[in-house]
Amino acid sequence: MAATSQILLQQLTELKKRFDWIGIYKKFQPISELPQNELIWNNPKILSDIGFACTKLAETGSIQSEIIIDDFLKTQAEYRKYAQSIQERCVELEPLNPLHPANVAYIFYQNIIDLTQHRGRRDGNLRQEIEKFLTAIDKALALDAKRVNDLYRKGRVLTRVLPDQILWSNSYEDLGGFTEKFKKANDIREKGIQTLLLAKSEWEKLRPDNPDDQYWYKRYRKEYIKTLYTLSQAYYDKIIEDWDESVFTLNLRNDISDNHKVSINNVDSENIDLSIQMIKACCKTDCPSHIVQGVMQNQQGLEKIADYNGEQEGVDKLYSIGKFFFAKYWILSGNGLKETAEATEAREVAERYLQAAMKCQWSPQKANQDKRFIAERLARVLISKEEYDQAISIIESIPQKKLEYVDAYILHTWAIAMLKSDKIPETQTILDIAKKSRKNKELWLTHFLKGCAYLETDEIGNAQEQFELAQQTAERVGKKNVDSLLIAKAFVEYRSDNVPEALKFLEEAQRLNPYRVAIGERIEKWKQSIR
């Protein structure tokens, strides 16, 4: 019997080398009858390989239209069922082996990826999958707290998945209003960052010249690179403000005097510097050493390293650098209010990397992915430079699907560029499309921008109506007294010759956001108008 087990393990090893998961699955069919086979059902090494093959087969990815959805999802569900029962049997057989609860956790982790992926399956309960994943991964880490791959997966879920679910998913309504959920999401993200930092630390302790470390150094390199990338995004997500439409739509820059001293949020500044630090480390580690050395010798920039398609897509790395440096510009300019030498330098870097991301080729696996999200971020850069027609051109340069399927945040940026180019009818048309979008997470912003467009044409009644709708919509998702809405209401009152009421709105906005120093100067101007 032992000899037979050894032969099976050798055959499994050969199949795994070829990533022949279906070959493994077929070899042990019917999987439902494995519990009756004592040789296999009592052998955790064999079972673990079979269970892992089922897990890989269960990965759904993007669902293509030509697939017969019902039959496909039924097959995937069967793979998941077998994977879970087999890996849980391994836990029974070897309860002190961290590999087995880690493999159980990996099943739920893949479910989370599938359920959150664009065009992924939607036949599961994401909240339950996250909870089951965290329970299983904590069991694995309790047995071995140094497993870099498990730390990375836990950190990714806690920083990139769960906070967004808490903020935007209806399944978390029991956590309270937006303020309560915002705090909960931030606390969870911070736990995730600490988990990722532990993963980073554990890999960096490994020495490739140490025979005991060589295997794990190579084995966990992929997760280390992904840890650095995820950390860069997590620190960025901690930033309070990296863009504010009202700076442009309400012309807040006009209130800044020449001798104005920029007020910088130091916490945001520290977080964006950490984002940049992590993405640079990610790019350098994710690129072959001979390319890195050549770049250093030729004194070329990080751009030549970042565009390499390694564990992370070159496009994504270039985009991230551009996004982070634009956030740095925003912070250094006092939230976009005043150009300084340091701020404009950061913006120049942002524009260069975003342009590079537009030109960079996706890997063959992502060849069909579009770059609208990059064009939108580049359009923000151009809007901040008051190059509104160029911003419109860059968004329109990407082949457009039907506008009702374009993400609302892209439509919002497009509308701002149109508004600032005095194309008000086009602005309203775009915003009307955004208003109908089922995926619009910021419907209040759509109404706010429509109100700003009405202000431009002195349609005060329509503007006021839209700002009221924006307030009501914001409150429905737990946002109360949004300072940009208060400023907008102040403008409505001022245009209606009700300056005292306008000042009340401005003073409340200033209390909510003391970093928006332009409001203080506007308050003084309006006070002088009634003296």
Q: What is the pLDDT along the chain (531 residues), one digit of tens a residue?
A: 455 888 999 999 999 999 999 999 999 999 999 999 999 999 999 999 999 999 999 998 766 555 567 888 899 999 999 999 999 999 999 999 999 999 999 999 999 999 998 777 888 899 999 999 999 999 999 999 999 999 999 999 999 999 999 988 889 988 888 788 999 999 999 999 999 999 999 999 999 999 999 999 999 999 999 999 999 999 999 998 889 999 999 998 887 777 777 888 899 999 999 999 999 999 999 999 888 877 766 545 788 899 999 999 999 999 999 999 999 999 999 889 889 999 999 999 999 999 999 999 999 988 888 899 999 999 999 999 999 999 999 999 887 667 777 899 999 999 999 999 999 999 999 999 999 988 898 999 999 999 999 999 999 999 999 999 999 998 887 776 688 999 999 999 999 999 999 999 999 998 888 777 778 888 988 988 775
Displacement of CA 288 from its chain's centroid (Å): 26
Distance CA 495, CA 465 (A): 14
The answer to whether the CB of 445 falls within 8 A of the CB of 245 is: yes
For residues 370 and 398, the answer to whether their CB atoms sit within 8 Å is: yes
In the chain, where are the structural domains located?
Answer: 1-145, 213-242+263-369
Question: HEC states along 248-289?
Answer: HHCCHHHHCCCCCCCCCCHHHHHHHHHHHHHHHHHHHHCCCH
* Rounded Cα distance, 188 and 180, in Å: 13
User: String of b and e for 68-87 (b: at least 16 CB within 10 Å)?
Assistant: eeeeebeebeebbebbbbbb
CATH code reported for the domain at 1-145:
1.25.40.10
The whole-angstrom separation of Cα 52 and Cα 121 is 20
* Separation CA 493–CA 165 (nearest Å): 37
* Contact in structure between 293 and 340 (CB atoms under 8 Å): no
How far does the chain reach from its first CA to its final CA, in angstroms?
A: 99
Is the separation of the CB atoms in 28 and 15 below 8 Å?
no
Q: Which residues are within 8 A (CB) of 270 and not within 5 positions of it... i.e. 6 or more apart?
A: none
Residues in Cβ contact with 522 at an 8 Å cutoff, skipping those fewer than 6 apart: 252, 255, 506
| Whether the Cβ atoms of residue 111 and residue 80 lie closer than 8 Å to each other | yes
Structure token pair of residue 461? 């009644």
Give helix then strand counts, H and E, for the chain: 27, 0
Written as six digits, the tokens of 229 are 């990338």
CA dist list (Å): 319 to 106, 185, 284, 300: 29, 25, 16, 18
Inter-residue contact 46 to 40 (CB < 8 Å): yes
